[in-house]
């Protein structure tokens, strides 16, 4: 980081303090494109190696070479936080990005979803990566890779409410209960006949289990300790990333709002630079040339701008005890994308932004076309948030284990059917770590219930 | 700030030397290669490849490796969100085609999912699929004209590209430099310490080789049979050209007569006429005698036929094979015999394979039967992945 930027960051931090922003200390690092691509491919750069990060690195590189993506920054949710700035960006771009980063780190520190995340993850991931290196030394890359492949295939199936740290199910002791008086009570008057003591059904799992990795780690009899560790590492990372997945619009919107605030107050930049800043800022929060897509920076920023207007107005009229900016800090604390859109995307704003929901069509001539579903607010909200549930993974849970056979049920067939090719592959994975047969119940496109099995003979329908 | 405080070392400093992206993308590439190897049987008879005239530029799409997860197939609600247009419910719009060339297609609309295709050229495929193949029983001769190039990451230099950084050597240099200053520990790595591996081209000289590729093009060679023979020869030619420079390839097509043709025509020949396999062997024999004395040439003769040869001609072939063996490093005969297409009049005993199999018991006479195109890959391996140590076991004529 050059001296100029360093000086500016100091001023930015002063302004952030005056605004009442509350964030972890930030380590800024200005890095070349290559390093930036690595950081973005790994998401958490200290985590263990896996071929899939190499794949996404290739992908990023390709995108970069074709000029499709311009990554301005990456910031890690950690205390202290780490922020990466591109060395090829202009000083003014990096000044803005430094301010933007403060918005993100405030978000990490204050949003309720992040209370459950590990804010020392950068270091923990490094330790875990070290353990995985040791496993690779000991058991070979293939075996470790296999365990990781399996872990990644199930890592989106978490149970956020139960959380990453859980203890095993409580063992039910032998449970006996009295049955009610039965219909022969009158005939058989002796007491012992009318009351039966039966063994209560010991349900296992006690209720449908949605945290698939957790269940398999704890109740599989075939996994070795190191394999359990690998799966647990992946599971922990999934819980770490989940809040980020669920707060893309609100987090980017807030960070954009913050950088705009700070840059307006920043005195150390001259007029020419300020003009440059306005241009870059425009680019970040523009709707985008593609009308069939929505830029989360733009949407989030627009909603926050609207919130501020409204609450400042209310404050002026004594209808609210807090100002627009204070309201924004409250929203940041308590909402995620789903509730943010539901609660704060207003009719007015939707009209201003000319939002619409649509479906893709294929014309008879084979051309691509779209069909406008509508501009009604509820439809719009649903179209935005529906992909945000459950990491966008189909809901699959474990309902029972009988004679060692694992019963899985796909619970979200109302949203869509399962892709059979992937079902087969994942069932093979689960069979490998469960070690015994498994069934999966789902619904086909005609609406009838279907069962898939994977056992020692392989997959069958 | 990473620069100001020493205790808080920048994360990027730690990775710079690790080249994690490079390492994992290499690993990904290797896994793709493994997948290609596994599917080699199917790829090798891919119609588009065989009919490409050996065009090196042809690219075969290979999918990036999939990450398997439970995924939705058909979604009930396919609505998406758009912005910035004045539209009403029920409107329909045709989309302008604006696909950017070369831009990878993202699978579905799943955010962040990587699913696109990498491309592999024929040369790369040859390297992946046929890397362990070679001409068997090659002997070094005095007039060495054949070069085999191999590349090794072996030389260590002070300059190079970052992906080839040799971390061990670099750290060692650093340690040495620090030790010279009085404290033998690793730290403060600078430009001077960096050591890179660089490619070294090693030239191995192999002896002259002439390979005779002969193919039956008589009327009984159906399209399917011809396709199998061409698939085999296509890859054989690809790998020979890739592995050996200055190799001499002689293409002979025959029905009741044999013709020397050029490579292009060889792969284009269509079938008609009767069959006299001996004519091809005769032509090869004469060509070798005139041009490729075994004292300075490694000669190889291959023939593909369906074995539906004129009865007496089988004995003539046998005669030529016997004459050719002393002149050749190896002779290969492949008989294509799809089970479904057995000619009623052709009894097992009348097949060329029967005569040769029972009369030529020599290690260096390699015989193989192919019944379907799926076997081409194994056939290639059988011919060109022979354990060279077997050469001492050569027996006598029966």
Query: HEC profile for chain B?
Result: CCCCCCCCCCHHHHHHCCCHHHHHHHHHHHHHHHHHHHCHHHHHCCHHHHCCCCCCCCEEEEECCCCCCCCEEEECCCCEEECCCCCCCCCEEECCCCCCCCCCCCCCCCCCCCCCEEEEEHHHHHHHHCCCCCCCCCCCCCCCCEEEEEEEEEEEECCCCHHHECHHHHHHHHHHHHHHCCCCCCCCCCHHHCCEEEEEEEEEEECCEEEEEEEECCCCCCHHHHHHHHHHHHHHHHHHHHHCCCCEEEEEEECCCEEEECHHHHCCCCCCCCCCHHHHHHHHHHHHHHHCCCCCCEEEEEEEECCCCCHHHHHHHHHHHHHHHHHCCEEEEEEECCHHHCCCCCCHHHCHHHHHHHHCCCCCEEEEEECCHHHHHHHHHHHHCCCHHHHHHCCCCC
* CB < 8 Å to B20, chain A: 38, 42, 45, 49, 53
Residues B146 and B247: beta-carbon distance below 8 Å: yes
pLDDT(A430) > 80: yes
* CB < 8 Å to A37, chain B: 21
* CB < 8 Å to A410, chain B: 70
Percent over 70 (pLDDT), chain A: 92
Q: Which domains does chain B have, with CATH numbers?
A: 1-67+113-129 (no CATH), 149-204 (no CATH), 208-393 (3.40.50.410)
Here the tokens at position A45 are: 């750069």
pLDDT in tens, A71-80: 678 999 999 9
Give the pLDDT band of residue B296 (cuts 50, 70, 90): confident
Question: Does A375 contact chain B (CB < 8 Å)?
Answer: yes
Question: Does A429 contact chain B (CB < 8 Å)?
Answer: yes
Shortest distance between the Cα of A81 and any Cα of chain B, in A, equals 11
Q: Answer yes or no: do A410 and B23 touch at CB < 8 A.
A: no
* CB < 8 Å to A379, chain B: 79
Among positive and negative, which fits the CA dihedral A345, A348, A354, A359?
positive
What is the pLDDT of chain A when averaged over all its residues? Answer: 90
Shortest distance between the Cα of A30 and any Cα of chain B, in A, equals 9
Q: Answer yes or no: do B72 and A396 touch at CB < 8 A.
A: no
Question: Does B21 contact chain A (CB < 8 Å)?
Answer: yes
Q: Answer yes or no: do B84 and A53 touch at CB < 8 A.
A: no
pLDDT at B7: 39
pLDDT(B179) > 90: no
Helix (H) or strand (E) holding A429: helix A420-434
pLDDT at B45: 66
Distance CA A76, CA A117 (A): 12
Distance CA B370, CA B375 (A): 6
pLDDT(B331) > 80: yes
Pairing relation of β-strands A449-455 and B92-94? unpaired
Find the residue in A nearest to B91 (Cα).
A372
Closest CA to B212 of B74, B328, B70, B350: B328
pLDDT at A77: 96
pLDDT in tens, A383-416: 999 989 889 899 999 999 999 999 999 999 989 9
Here the tokens at position A415 are: 């949203």
Phi, psi of A441 (to 5 degrees): -105, 130
Q: Answer yes or no: do A41 and B21 touch at CB < 8 A.
A: yes
* CB < 8 Å to B103, chain A: 66, 68
pLDDT at A410: 96
Which is higher by pLDDT, B320 or B43? B320
pLDDT at A26: 96
Q: B355-361: long-range contacts (C-beta < 8 A, 24 or more apart)? A: B355/B314, B355/B315, B355/B317, B355/B318, B356/B314, B356/B317, B356/B318, B356/B321, B359/B318, B359/B398, B360/B318, B360/B321, B360/B322, B360/B325, B360/B397, B360/B398, B361/B395, B361/B397, B361/B398
Which is higher by pLDDT, B274 or A278? A278
Tell me whether residue A75 is exposed, middle or buried, using C-beta atoms within 10 angstroms of its C-beta: 0 to 12, 13 to 18, 19 or more. Answer: buried
Question: Does A164 contact chain B (CB < 8 Å)?
Answer: no
pLDDT in tens, B74-105: 888 889 999 988 888 988 888 776 444 333 33
pLDDT(A179) > 70: no
Contact residues, B window 250-309, toward A, CB-based 8 Å cutoff: none
Residues A35 and A84: beta-carbon distance below 8 Å: yes
Distance CA A337, CA A296 (A): 10
What is the pLDDT of chain B when averaged over all its residues? Answer: 75
Of A153, A353, A368, which is closest to B83 when you measure between CB atoms?
A: A353
Average pLDDT over residues A293-303: 92
pLDDT at A32: 87
Chain-centre distance of CA A104, in angstroms? 15
Residues A449 and A457: beta-carbon distance below 8 Å: no
Task: Give, in degrees to the nearest 5, the angle at Cα B326 between B325 and B328.
Answer: 65
Q: Answer yes or no: do B31 and A51 touch at CB < 8 A.
A: yes
Of A50, A418, A425, which is closest to B24 when you measure between CB atoms?
A: A50
Find the residue in B nearest to A54 (Cα).
B25
Give the pLDDT band of residue B4 (cuts 50, 70, 90): very low
- Residue A318, CA distances (Å) to A132, A315, A323, B25, B76 in order: 59, 5, 10, 59, 47
Q: Answer yes or no: do A358 and B79 touch at CB < 8 A.
A: yes
Q: Answer yes or no: do A55 and B28 touch at CB < 8 A.
A: yes
Question: Does B101 contact chain A (CB < 8 Å)?
Answer: no
Tokens 């399209």, residue?
B223
Contact residues, B window 321-340, toward A, CB-based 8 Å cutoff: none
User: Using alpha carbons only, how large is chain B's radius of gyration in Å?
Assistant: 29
Average pLDDT over residues B363-383: 84
Closest CA to A46 of A133, A156, A127, A145: A127
Residues A249 and A341: beta-carbon distance below 8 Å: yes
Q: Answer yes or no: do B90 and A372 touch at CB < 8 A.
A: yes
A205-219, B48-62, B184-198, B373-387: lowest mean pLDDT where? B48-62
Give the count of Cβ contacts less than 8 A between chain A and B. Answer: 230
pLDDT at A182: 57
Pairing relation of β-strands A396-402 and A405-410? antiparallel
Distance CA A328, CA A331 (A): 5
Q: Rounded to two decimals, what is the model's pTM?
A: 0.72
Q: Answer yes or no: do A357 and B81 touch at CB < 8 A.
A: yes
């Amino acid at each position: 980081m050059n001296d100029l930027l360093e000086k500016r960051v100091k001023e930015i931090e002063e302004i952030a303090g005056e605004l009442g922003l509350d964030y972890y200390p930030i380590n800024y690092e200005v890095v070349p494109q290559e390093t930036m691509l690595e950081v973005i491919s790994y998401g958490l750069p200290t985590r263990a190696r896996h071929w899939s990060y190499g794949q996404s690195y290739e992908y990023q590189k390709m995108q970069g070479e074709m000029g499709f993506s311009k990554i301005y920054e990456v910031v890690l949710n950690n205390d202290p936080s780490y922020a990466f700035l591109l060395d090829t960006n202009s000083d003014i771009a990096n000044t803005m990005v430094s301010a933007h980063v403060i918005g993100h780190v405030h978000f990490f520190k204050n949003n309720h979803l992040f209370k459950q995340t590990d804010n020392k993850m950068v270091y923990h991931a490094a330790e875990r990566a070290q353990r995985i290196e040791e496993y690779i030394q000991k058991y070979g890359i293939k075996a470790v890779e296999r365990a990781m492949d399996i872990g990644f295939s199930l890592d989106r199936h978490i149970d956020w409410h139960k959380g990453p740290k859980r203890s095993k199910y409580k063992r039910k002791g032998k449970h006996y209960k009295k049955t009610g008086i039965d219909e022969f009570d009158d005939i058989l008057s002796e007491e012992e006949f009318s009351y039966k003591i039966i063994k209560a059904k010991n349900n296992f799992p006690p209720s449908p289990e949605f945290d698939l990795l957790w269940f398999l780690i704890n109740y599989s009899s075939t996994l070795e300790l190191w394999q359990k560790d690998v799966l647990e590492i992946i599971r922990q990372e999934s819980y770490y990333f989940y809040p980020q997945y669920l707060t893309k619009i609100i987090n980017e919107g807030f960070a954009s709002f913050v950088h705009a605030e700070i840059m307006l107050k920043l005195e150390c930049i001259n007029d020419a630079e300020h003009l440059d800043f306005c241009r870059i800022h425009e680019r970040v929060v523009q709707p985008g040339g593609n009308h069939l897509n929505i830029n989360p920076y733009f949407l989030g920023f627009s909603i926050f701008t609207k919130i501020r207007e409204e609450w400042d107005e209310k404050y002026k009229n004594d209808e609210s005890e807090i100002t627009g900016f204070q309201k924004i800090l409250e929203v940041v604390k308590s909402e995620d994308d789903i509730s943010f859109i539901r609660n704060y995307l207003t009719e007015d704003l939707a009209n201003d932004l000319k939002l619409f929901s649509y479906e893709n069509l294929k014309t008879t001539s084979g051309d691509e076309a779209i069909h406008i579903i509508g501009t009604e607010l509820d439809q719009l909200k649903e179209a935005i948030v529906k992909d945000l549930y459950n990491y966008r993974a189909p809901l699959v849970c474990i309902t029972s284990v009988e004679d060692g056979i694992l019963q899985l049920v796909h619970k979200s067939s109302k949203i869509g059917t399962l892709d059979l090719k992937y079902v087969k592959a994942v069932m093979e994975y689960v069979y490998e770590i469960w070690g015994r047969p498994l069934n999966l119940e789902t619904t086909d496109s005609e609406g009838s219930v279907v069962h898939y099995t994977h056992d020692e003979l392989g997959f069958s329908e | 700030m990473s620069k100001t405080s020493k205790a808080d070392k920048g994360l990027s400093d730690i990775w710079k030397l690790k080249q994690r992206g490079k390492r994992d993308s290499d690993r990904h590439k290797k896994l793709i290669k493994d997948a290609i190897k596994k599917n080699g049987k199917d790829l090798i008879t891919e119609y588009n490849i065989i009919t490409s005239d050996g065009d090196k530029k042809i690219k075969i799409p290979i999918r990036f490796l999939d990450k398997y997860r439970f995924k939705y197939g058909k979604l009930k609600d396919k609505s998406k969100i758009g912005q910035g247009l004045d539209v009403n419910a029920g409107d329909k719009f045709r989309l302008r085609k604006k696909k950017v060339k070369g831009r990878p297609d993202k699978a579905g609309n799943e955010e962040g999912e990587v699913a696109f295709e990498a491309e592999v050229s024929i040369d790369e495929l040859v390297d992946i699929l046929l890397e362990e193949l070679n001409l068997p029983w090659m002997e070094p001769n005095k007039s060495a004209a054949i070069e085999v190039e191999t590349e090794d990451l072996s030389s260590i230099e002070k300059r190079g590209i970052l992906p080839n950084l040799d971390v061990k050597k670099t750290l060692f240099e650093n340690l040495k430099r620090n030790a010279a200053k009085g404290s033998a520990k690793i730290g403060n790595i600078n430009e001077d310490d960096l050591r890179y591996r660089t490619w070294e081209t090693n030239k191995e000289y192999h002896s002259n080789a002439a390979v005779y590729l002969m193919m039956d093009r008589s009327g009984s060679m159906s399209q399917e049979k011809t396709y199998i023979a061409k698939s085999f020869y296509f890859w054989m030619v690809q790998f020979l050209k890739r592995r050996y420079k200055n190799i001499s390839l002689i293409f002979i097509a025959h029905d009741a007569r044999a013709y020397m043709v050029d490579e292009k025509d060889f792969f284009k020949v269509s079938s008609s006429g009767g069959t006299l396999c001996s004519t091809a062997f005769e032509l090869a024999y004469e060509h070798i005698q005139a041009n490729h004395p075994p004292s300075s040439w490694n000669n190889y003769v291959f023939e593909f036929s369906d074995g539906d040869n004129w009865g007496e001609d089988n004995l003539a072939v046998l005669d030529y094979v016997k004459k050719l063996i002393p002149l050749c490093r190896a002779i290969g005969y492949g008989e294509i015999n799809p089970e479904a297409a057995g000619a009623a009049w052709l009894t097992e005993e009348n097949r060329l394979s029967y005569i040769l199999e029972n009369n030529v018991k020599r290690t260096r006479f390699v015989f193989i039967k192919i019944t379907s195109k799926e076997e081409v890959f194994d056939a290639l391996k059988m011919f060109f992945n022979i354990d060279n140590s077997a050469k001492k076991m050569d027996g006598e004529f029966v």
